Amino acid sequence: MISDEEFNRIRFYFDKTKGEYDIDDITWNDLDMNTIYSKINRTNSYIGREFLYAMLRRQDFNKEHLIKKNSVIDMFSKKENIRRKIQVALCNIGNKSDISVYEYLTRINDEESRTCLTSKVQDLLLLIAIILIVINNKFGLVLGLVMIAVNVATYYSHKARIAPYLSFFSYVIRMNRSLDDICTLDCEEIKDYQDRLEIIKKKLYKLRKRSFLLANSSISGGFFDMVMDYVKMLCHVDIMKFYSMLNVIKDNKEYIKEMYEILGEIDSLSAVASFRETLPYYCIPDFIDTKKYISDDSNLLVNSNENSGKQHTPEDSEKGDENVLVGNITKYICEEVYHPLIENAVSNSIETEGSVLLTGSNASGKSTFIRTLALNALLSQTIFTGISKSYVAPFYQIYSSMALRDNLLGGESYYMVEIKSLKRVLNTDTSKYPVLCFIDEVLRGTNTLERIAASAHILGSIAKNNALCFAATHDIELTKILKHYYNSYHFREEVLENDIKFDYKLYKGSAKSRNAIKLLSVIGYDKSIVNNATNMAGDFLENGVWEVID
């Protein structure tokens, strides 16, 4: 399992290249995406690990780009020989690093250039000492011992300061070397990558000169590496090479960044191909255009999906059809969706063109289901892989508000954290893309009366704001209050004498049963508590008044 410290390094590239529609931290944590990342991560290099993390957080609303990604993923699945050669080339770059490669690329301008005059003088004195020793001069021996001590001491002093950059340079050199193996492959699916990498390789040719001085092997070194370590300590050749390459790196920073991103994407797509092979089944998502237009000619609503009566195109505008975009028809269709982290997961299907309220007993599967729907949409929009037999929907901005907790350091209660989380959904600009949001137990951090009233209007506002919302709740009242905006679905259970069994299947309509009190009995609560609670709940449902306990 990847540690939190490691994730902080892995996410650096994502943090420094954030886009407008990235998955935010709340949604990422709600969906346990660190664990999902670990399951998908079969990358061969550290840059692949960094890029895959960013890929999973970066919603790609370009269908052509997603199709291109998929062609490369398919290539990795079908062309084993090409896949193996690319993986070997990426493995030689190295999959372990104590630094974020991208972090040091962004910081490279902070390191000042030097002439290394001191190191050159020390090397000259060491050479003089060796010559004097050869002609049997005792002074030469003394000078040699002194210079060895001085060179070793100053070497470690210099190296301690630039050690992270040395690791970074070594990584860049190995990245550059990998281009030789990747660019010579006969593979149409990666031809665009190869063309760009050929240009980069020519731009970075200076990095190859005596690069062995910095490019440590990605695996444990042999005898030659051991000898070179002593040469470096005595002669500072790697430090001098570092400063001679520093300006080359600075001048070609953008090309190195592009090389990093291309190799990272190739490695990430290789990992996705491996991930797909572990799934019981998956689908290629079908992203549809569901924009709504008003036609000035007919004053009628025009849907631009393929099933509508009229398709709005740029040509329409040229013909004088002044159709005006007014929003999107929200839609979510999936067949037999399942959660990839759950062994023998129960699958479910749903087709809705409006928001959904999920009701059901405790532990019946509501929360897992909405997480599964969210994950299905997220993986579809990032790695073009649906965890279902089919998935049809427009592109969505995905948000969730589920696994929240008190912010003790910030002095915020659970309720404050929750309402801020929901407000970010309400504040999202939906003019370009609709919102797909998932909410578990709306406003659970407050009293029943205000929870139902506030939840009704918050959920109603979300549904009316060009959004598709899946919300799980125990408040059955909401299904009636929001019936014009939300479709009702539920999970049910079978109550046995000493047990409750769930089938985890989705049913239309709202839940009719409650099991919270029954669960008290199942785990061994005193019968008087269970019976009295049951009677009290029944009285309230009948009379609308709570009984005072004597």
User: Which tens digits make up the pLDDT trace of 28-82?
Assistant: 999 999 999 999 999 999 999 999 999 999 999 999 999 999 999 999 999 999 9
User: Residue 114, by phi and psi: left (phi above 0), alpha (psi -120 to 50) or beta?
Assistant: beta
SS3 content of the chain, % helix, strand, coil (to 5): 55, 15, 30
Mean pLDDT of the chain: 85
In the CATH hierarchy, which top-level class contains the domain 4-278? mainly alpha
Domain range list for the chain: 4-278, 291-328, 332-513, 515-550
Overall pTM > 0.75: yes
Q: How confident is the model at residue 405 (pLDDT cuts 50, 70, 90)?
A: low
Written as one letter, the residue type at 68 is K
Task: Tell me which range, 89-103, 378-392, 503-517, is most confidently predicted by mean pLDDT.
Answer: 378-392
Residues 104 and 107: their CA atoms lie apart, in Å, by 5
Beta-strand pair 397-401/435-440: parallel
Give the pair of three-digit tokens for residue 248.
Answer: 């080359």
Q: How confident is the model at residue 318 (pLDDT cuts 50, 70, 90)?
A: very low
4-278 and 332-513 have identical folds: no
Residues 303 and 404: their CA atoms lie apart, in Å, by 37
Which residues does 293 contact at the CB level (< 8 Å), separation at least 6? 301, 302, 303, 304, 312, 323, 324, 325, 326
Residues 169 and 214: their CA atoms lie apart, in Å, by 7
Give the pair of three-digit tokens for residue 386.
Answer: 């649906």
- Asked whether the predicted pLDDT for residue 293 surpasses 60, the reply is no
**Phi, psi (rounded to 5 degrees) for 108:** -60, -30
Q: What is the dihedral of CA 188, 190, 196, 202, to 10 degrees?
A: -80
- Asked whether the predicted pLDDT for residue 300 surpasses 50, the reply is no
Domain 332-513 carries which CATH code? 3.40.50.300
End-to-end CA distance of the chain: 54
Rg over CA atoms, the chain: 31
Query: Bigger pLDDT: 37 or 117?
Result: 37
Dihedral angle sign, alpha carbons of residues 495, 497, 500, 501: negative
Residue 281's closest CA among 404, 390, 150, 202? 390
Predicted confidence at residue 218, as pLDDT, reads 46
CB atoms within 10 A of CB 208: 14
